[in-house]
Amino acid sequence: MAKDCSFDIVSEVDMQEMDNAINQTGKEISQRYDFKGSKAEIVLDKDSLKLTAEDDYKLGAMLDILRTKMVKRNVPLKCLQPGKIEPASGGTVKQTITIQKGISKEKGKEVVSAVKDLKLKVQAQIMDDQVRVTGAKKDDLQMVIQKLKENDFGIDLQFINFRS
């Protein structure tokens, strides 16, 4: 019997790098001229970010700075899911941004469906917050990885645990 090869598809965020990007953002905000004397802060709270600023323009500027810092630290931008901007106390506005970790059931179904559409001799199954793909040939699995990289599922995908 042929030995099956497999790999896992995950969507992970390096929280240490995310924390570093947030700290750099806070430092830049404290030094920027357009933020002098304003109430602007960014706080990491487990799997979400809390942004507070005087108006939505400054909130957007904070988010742009954060995204720039994330790119420099190789943290995927697709992991950020901004909520709506709400008024807060003291004439400020706040926004909660969720950090997407793992592949949701809906996205997992989309990935499995995309794998099945390739018509290769591989099987894909959803396992908690990841998708495992197994097949007899390494070439088929590498083709799956290549095709999945070409698609946009709205989340950042990583391919780990390649076993043969």
The CATH number of the domain holding residue 156 is 3.30.70.860
Chosen domain end from 72, 99, 126: 99
Total structural domains in the chain? 2
Residue where a domain terminates, one of 45, 72, 99? 99
113 shares a domain with 85: no
Confidence band (pLDDT; 50, 70, 90) for 152?
Answer: confident
- Per-residue confidence (pLDDT) for residue 1, from 0 to 100: 40
Minimal CA–CA distance to 10: which of 162, 115, 158?
Answer: 158
Predicted local confidence at residue 154, as pLDDT? 85
Contact 154, 80 (CB under 8 A): no
- Burial of 92 (C-beta count, 10 Å sphere; 0-12/13-18/19+): middle
Q: Is 100 helix (H, G, I), strand (E, B) or coil?
A: coil
What is the average pLDDT across 128-151?
89
pLDDT value, residue 51: 92
Do 99 and 88 meet the contact criterion of CB atoms below 8 Å apart? no
Structure confidence at residue 63 (pLDDT):
93
**Over the stretch 16-61, which tens digit does the pLDDT of each residue have?**
999 999 999 999 999 988 888 888 889 998 889 999 999 889 999 9
State the residue range of the domain holding 135: 5-12+103-163
Give pLDDT, residue 25. Answer: 93
| pLDDT at residue number 5 | 87
**pTM, entire model:** 0.83
Residue 148 to residue 26: CA distance in whole angstroms? 35
Model confidence pLDDT, tens digit, residues 83-122: 999 998 888 999 999 998 888 889 899 999 998 998 888 8
**109 and 149 co-located in one domain:** yes
In terms of Cα–Cα distance, which of 61, 65, 49 is closest to 99? 49
For residue 102, how many other CB atoms are within 10 A of its CB? 14
